[in-house]
Amino acid sequence: MPVLHNLVSNEELRARMLAETEPRTTVSFYKYFHIADPKAFRDALYRTFTALKVFGRVYVAHEGINAQISVPASRYEEMKAQLYAFDPALDNLRMNVALDDDGKSFWVLRLKVRDRIVADGIADETFDASQVGTYLQAAEVNALLDDPNAVFVDMRNHYEYEVGHFDKAMEIPADTFRDQLPMAVEMLQEHKDKKIVMYCTGGIRCEKASAWMLHNGFDDVAHIEGGIIEYARRAREQGLPVRFKGKNFVFDERMGERISDDVLAHCHQCGTPCDTHVNCKNDGCHLLFIQCPSCAEKFQHCCSPICMEELALPPEEQRARRAGRENGNKIFNKSRGLLNVTMAIPAPEEK
């Protein structure tokens, strides 16, 4: 039986990726469908993707698959063909090809079995995730943006919304998708007579959210097919105005795709206009936050003086300080200051 996980260190794998000369294509896809044996599905797909030199992050569950990957450009069509043939449910699966891609988005393949492909916290056994809202194409999205009877709802987290969104889109102020779902139902009660338009990065969250809204008594619910990525691509191809402003946050090394020149966010340290997400350089923190070049130099790529101080310590003392440290939310939140959230460990919620 071949080894079905990585044996090489992250540092070496990253160095190998950066040394590659052939360009790579970054692509995301998902599909809600029943997988009887996720472990067997995962192992077979791991062999297929490894042979094609695919890197990325893939989640498999009984409810389907969710993937963000990169593949050598010369093997992209081969990858699609093999994926389409892998399971009948994946035939002609929509691929969301990255808009702003340097091919350096991933350097390792991580393929995991999970309870859900998107953590939603839903315990209602009567909920059917396949009963989704209406799919919207780019031209329909633009028309509805000018419709006073349509309410656009951003089903992403604050740090995603902060750097880019549609004008007047409603933000659901929660740190996780599982917390957003019940909050969205509550916040939208006063808009039940309007058309609810949900959107997210690539479609996976807003598609499930549309099903949840229908399940909770909303009648007129739609979502943008393929999310922001597909909307921007199709609008450009069709010569339509791209109405999304700013950056589309993505969950890989790039941390964002530039959609428009608008800079909507501000540096979390000095307040200057900026929409560049970084992780704190201190290994005991790695907080995700927005930092301008000036503050990056001033704080030595750290989020706070506390992290600067810890980063300057000998490695042994840094490790001693980190030992037993309580983990927390590792993402800067508008309701908390940098010093209050630093020293927290978990990575950004992966979608």
pLDDT at 275: 96
**Total tally of structural domains belonging to the chain:** 3
Give the angle 37-204-183 at the CA atoms, nearest 5°.
115
Name the residue range of residue 159's domain. Answer: 134-246
Q: How far apart are the first and last CA of the chain?
A: 31
Amino acid 14: pLDDT: 59
For the chain, the average pLDDT equals 87
Answer yes or no: 206 catalytic. Answer: no
Residues 156 and 242 in one domain: yes
Is 29 in contact with 59 (CB distance < 8 Å)? no
Q: Which residues of the chain have pLDDT under 50?
A: 1, 335-336, 339-351
DSSP β-bridge partners for residue 134: 222
Q: Taking CA 227 as the corner, what is the angle to CA 225 and CA 230, rounded to the nearest 5 degrees?
A: 80
Domain boundary among 61, 83, 113: 113
Q: Among the residues of 52-92, which ranges form H helices?
A: 76-86
CA distance 148 to 151: 8
Residue 148 CB coordination number (10 Å): 6
301 and 242, same structural domain?
no
Whole-structure pTM value: 0.78
Task: Give domain status of residue 271, yes or no.
Answer: no
Q: Which stretch of DSSP H or E encloses residue 282? A: none
Could you tell me if 131 and 215 are in contact, meaning their C-beta atoms sit under 8 angstroms apart? yes
Q: Beta partners for 331?
A: 288
Dig out the tokens for 191 from the structure.
């808009």
Last residue of a domain, one of 193, 225, 246: 246
- Kind and range of the H or E element at 65? strand 64-72
How far is residue 43's CA from residue 130's CA, in Å, rounded to a whole number? 25
Asked if residues 159 and 348 have their Cβ atoms less than 8 Å apart, the reply is yes
**Alpha carbons 279 and 286: distance in angstroms, whole number:** 5
In this structure, are residues 282 and 182 in contact, taking their beta carbons and an 8 Å threshold?
A: no
Q: Tokens for 305, please give them.
A: 């003086």
Contacts (Cβ under 8 Å, ≥6 apart) of 255: 249, 276, 277, 278
Quick one: 146 and 241 in the same domain? Answer: yes
Q: Verify that 105 and 158 share a domain, yes or no.
A: no
List pLDDT tens digits, range 115-163: 999 889 998 989 988 889 999 999 999 999 999 999 999 999 999 999 9
In the set 200, 206, 295, 302, the catalytic residue is 200
CATH number, residue 48 = 3.30.70.100
Structure tokens that stand for 119 in this block = 């953590």
Where is the domain boundary, 246, 266, 289?
246
238 occurs within a structural domain: yes
Confirm whether 121 is domain-assigned.
no
The residues, any chain, with a CB within 8 Å of residue 329's CB and separated by 6 or more, are 175, 341, 344, 346
Map tokens 């290994």 to a residue: 283
Pairing of β 164-166 and β 55-61: unpaired
CA distance 65 to 38: 9
207 and 305 in a single domain? The answer is: no
